[in-house]
Structures are given as structure tokens and as C-alpha cells.
């Protein structure tokens, strides 16, 4: 590849520096063959640019940049998480009322409540025809004898 071809390709790509552009102009003025090479490269470039289709690559570029950004954010967050010390988990300070070692207390409390509520109903009551002695004992047949004596 000649220097003229190299400079012309840079010019077509838009990557030519000012010093290189000055060099290209001087080469084109000095050599008629360089001028012919310039024309052929410009025609080839025009033909290639004219045959391009689907030039809208903006959305693809935006998507690619977005993906790169997401990956960087994700990696940054994961690196931050990895760099930190893992948390120490503590048990919550809650009272457990229903533990196995508390069961005897519950049994005693339940029995006391049962006796307090249902106990008086379970005790025998004196019959109406029986009288109670002064000590709280029943006098069996006392009511009958009094009733029979009065008759």
C-alpha cells in the first residue's frame, strides 16, 4: 500500500490529522499517478457507501451501552457485597410461654382453675329432707323422725 492510498483511506474514514492532510495535498500536486489513485479510492468509497442498507444502528448502540451499564452496576453492587463482612444473626429476644419445661406449671394452673370453677358443682349437696347437725354433719333420718313425730 502506498502512502497516498494510506492517507486516502484515513481521509475516507475521517481519521486524518491536519499534518497528514497537508502531506496528501502535496503528494497529489506532485504526482499525476497519485491523483488517479485518489479518484479510484473516492469512487470505490462512494460505491460502498451507496450500497449500505439499514444504517439505523442507534437503537443497537443504545441497547449495547445500556447492557454494559447494567453489567457494571451489577458487578459494582456484587463487589460491594462481597467486600463486606457477613452479618451476624442473633436470636430475637422473645419469651416462649409454651416451652416443655413450663408444662408442669400449666398443668397445675389448669387443675386449680378446673377445681375452682367446677369443684362446687361436683361436691355432694344435702337433700332437702335431710337436716344438718351443728358440726356440719348430716343427720340421717332426722327429718323423717321429726316429720313422723309431728304427725
Q: How many CB atoms lie within 10 A of CB 37?
A: 17
Query: What confidence tens digit (pLDDT) does each residue in 41-99 have?
Result: 888 888 887 777 766 667 777 888 888 889 899 999 999 999 998 878 777 666 665 56
**CA separation for the pair 118, 88 (Å, rounded):** 52
pTM comes to 0.34
Residue 65 vs residues 61, 73, 133: alpha-carbon distances, Å: 6, 12, 106
Query: What confidence tens digit (pLDDT) does each residue in 83-123 have?
Result: 998 878 777 666 665 565 666 777 888 888 888 887 767 66
**CA separation for the pair 13, 54 (Å, rounded):** 19
The whole-number pLDDT of residue 80 equals: 92
How does 55-71 read in b/e, with b if 16+ C-beta sit within 10 Å?
A: eeeeeeeeeeeeeeeee
Cα angle 77-83-88, degrees, rounded to a multiple of 5: 105
Amino acid at each position: 500500500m502506498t502512502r497516498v492510498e494510506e492517507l486516502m483511506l484515513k481521509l475516507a474514514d475521517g481519521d486524518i490529522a491536519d499534518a497528514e492532510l497537508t502531506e496528501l495535498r502535496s503528494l497529489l500536486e506532485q504526482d499525476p499517478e497519485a491523483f488517479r489513485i485518489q479518484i479510484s479510492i473516492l469512487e470505490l468509497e462512494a460505491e460502498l457507501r451507496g450500497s449500505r442498507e439499514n444504517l439505523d444502528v442507534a437503537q443497537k448502540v443504545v441497547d449495547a451501552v445500556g447492557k454494559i451499564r447494567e453489567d457494571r452496576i451489577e458487578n459494582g453492587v456484587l463487589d460491594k457485597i462481597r467486600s463486606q463482612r457477613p452479618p451476624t444473626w442473633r436470636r430475637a429476644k422473645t419469651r416462649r410461654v409454651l416451652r416443655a419445661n413450663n408444662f408442669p406449671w400449666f398443668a397445675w394452673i389448669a387443675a386449680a382453675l378446673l377445681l375452682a370453677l367446677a369443684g362446687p358443682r361436683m361436691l355432694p349437696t344435702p337433700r332437702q329432707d335431710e337436716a344438718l347437725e351443728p358440726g356440719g354433719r348430716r343427720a340421717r333420718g332426722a327429718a323423717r323422725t321429726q316429720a313422723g313425730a309431728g304427725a
